[in-house]
Amino acid sequence: MAEAALFVLFTLFAVAAPLVLYSLVRSEAEDTDRMSREEARERVSRERDDRR
């Protein structure tokens, strides 16, 4: 009986852990700023100029 319970817990963890990780990554991706390629180039060039 204990082996069956351990198997069930392990199976639930094996299914739940990737889903939790996926939801965390997904929520982090939604908080990022989207920009065009040209805007990204301008931002990088400004950051490089600021470092000099």
**For position 51, what pLDDT does the model report?**
65
**Stated pTM of the model:** 0.52
Asked whether residue 39 carries a pLDDT value surpassing 70, the answer given is yes
Higher-confidence residue of 2 and 49: namely: 2
- Give the integer Cα–Cα distance in Å for 26 and 7: 29
From the centroid of its chain, how far is CA 18?
11
pLDDT at res. 2: 93
DSSP assignment, residue 52?
-
Provide the phi-psi class of 26: left if phi over 0, else alpha when psi is between -120 and 50, else beta.
Answer: alpha
Using left for φ > 0, alpha for ψ between -120 and 50, and beta otherwise, residue 32 falls in: beta
Helix (H, G, I), strand (E, B) or coil at 35: coil
